Chain A
C-alpha cells in the first residue's frame, strides 16, 4: 500500500468532476479537510460560548484561552491600533492550527503541507498589509524602503535591498509553514516504514523515534500556527506604526 512517504500528500477528487469555465472546481480531499477544520473551529467556539459560566466548562476554557492568547499577542506586537484586525488574525491562527492538528490524525490529510495553500494565505496577508500601509500613510509609506542616516551614494543600493527584503516576506512566511509540515510528515512516514521493514528484531528503535517525533510534530503544528500569526502581527505593526 502506501510505502511511499510522499503518497500522503496526493490530492484526489471526491465525487464527480465539476468544471466551470475551464477551471477544475472538483471537491478534493484537501477541500474536505479545510471544511472539516472550519467545522471543528465553529463547533469548539459554539460549544464554548453557548452558556457562560463563572466556572467554565472545558470548551469555554479552551475558547477563552485562544481568545486571550491572540488578544495578548496582538497587543504585545502591534499595539492597540491593531485591535480592529483581531477577527482576521484570530481566524487565521485558528485555521492554520486546526489544519495542522487535523493533519496529525492517522489517515488524514494535511492541508498546510501544500505550498499553494500557504502561499495564498501569505500573499493575501502581504497585499492586505501593503494596502493598509498605503491607506494609512499615503505615499510616505514608501519611507519604509529608505532608511534614515544612509549616505547618498549608498542610497539606491540600500533601497533595492530593502525592496527585495520586503518582497521576500510572503515567500518566507509561506515556505516556513509548508516546509515544516511537509518535512515533519514525511519524516514520520519514513520512520514508520523503518518499523515495518526492520520487523520484530530491529523495529523497536524506529518505533520509539516515531513516538517521539509525533510529540515533536504536535509541538511544531502549534508553533508554526503561532509563528504564522505573530509574523502577520509584526507586518501589520510595520504598516500601522511607521517608524524606521
Chain B
C-alpha cells in the first residue's frame, strides 16, 4: 500500500513538471511558422486559380469570352485575400 502511495505522489510531481515544460515550449516549435508560411501562400493562390477556372467554365457555357473570366479572376483574388485574412486571424487566436 505504501508503494502505491509513493507512486502516486511521484506521478503528481512528474505531471506538474510536465505542465511547466509544456508551457515553456509547444511541441511543434519553430517548424509551425514555416508551415503557416506555406499555408498562406497556397491559400491565396488556390482561390485565384479556382476563380479563374469558374470564370472560364461559365464563359464557355454562356459564350461570353473573355469577360466572365476577367470578372471571376478579380472575385477569386478577393476570395484569396479573404482566405489569408481568415487564416491569419486563426493564427493570432492560437497565440
Chain A residues within 8 Å of B, Cβ to Cβ: 69, 157, 160-162, 164-165, 167-168, 171-172, 175-176, 179-180, 219-220, 222-224, 226-227, 231, 234
**Contacting pair A171 B46 (CB below 8 A):** yes
Known A161-B78, A162-B82, A165-B79; judge A171-B39 contact (CB<8 A). Answer: no
**Contacting pair B46 A172 (CB below 8 A):** yes
**Contacting pair B35 A167 (CB below 8 A):** no
**Contacting pair A223 B46 (CB below 8 A):** no
Whole-angstrom CA separation of A224 from B54 in the bound complex: 28
Known A223-B31, A234-B90; judge A176-B82 contact (CB<8 A). Answer: no
- Which chain A residue shows the least CB distance to B43? A172
**Chain B CB within 10 Å, residue with most, of A180, A222, A227:** A227
Q: Which residues of B contact A222 (CB under 8 A)?
A: 31
Of the A-B pairs whose beta carbons lie under 8 Å apart in the complex, a sample of 22, sorted by A's number, is A161-B75, A162-B82, A164-B51, A164-B79, A165-B79, A165-B82, A167-B50, A168-B51, A171-B49, A172-B42, A172-B43, A172-B47, A172-B83, A175-B42, A176-B38, A176-B42, A219-B31, A219-B34, A223-B32, A223-B35, A226-B35, A227-B35
What's the nearest-Cβ distance from chain B to residue A36, in Å?
Answer: 26
Q: Which residues of B contact A162 (CB under 8 A)?
A: 79, 82
What's the nearest-Cβ distance from chain A to residue B5, in Å?
Answer: 15
Q: Which residues of A contact B49 (CB under 8 A)?
A: 168, 171
**Contacting pair A168 B50 (CB below 8 A):** yes
- Which chain A residue shows the least CB distance to B28? A226
Q: How many residues of chain B get a CB closer than 8 Å to chain A's CBs?
A: 27
Whole-angstrom CA separation of A219 from B29 in the bound complex: 11
What's the nearest-Cβ distance from chain B to residue A108, in Å?
Answer: 23
- Which among B34, B47, B76, B78 is the interface contact of A223 at CB below 8 angstroms? B34
- Which among A69, A168, A226, A227 is the interface contact of B47 at CB below 8 angstroms? A168
Whole-angstrom CA separation of A167 from B76 in the bound complex: 11
Interface of A is mostly: helix
Q: Which residues of A contact B34 (CB under 8 A)?
A: 219-220, 223
Whole-angstrom CA separation of A165 from B81 in the bound complex: 9
Chain B residues within 8 Å of A, Cβ to Cβ: 27-28, 31-32, 34-35, 38-39, 42-43, 45-47, 49-51, 54, 72, 75-76, 78-80, 82-83, 86, 90
Whole-angstrom CA separation of A175 from B79 in the bound complex: 17
Q: Which residues of A contact B28 (CB under 8 A)?
A: 223, 226
| 5 tightest Cβ-Cβ pairs between the two chains A and B | A172-B46, A164-B79, A165-B79, A168-B47, A171-B46
**Contacting pair B75 A168 (CB below 8 A):** no
Q: Which residues of B contact A227 (CB under 8 A)?
A: 35, 38-39
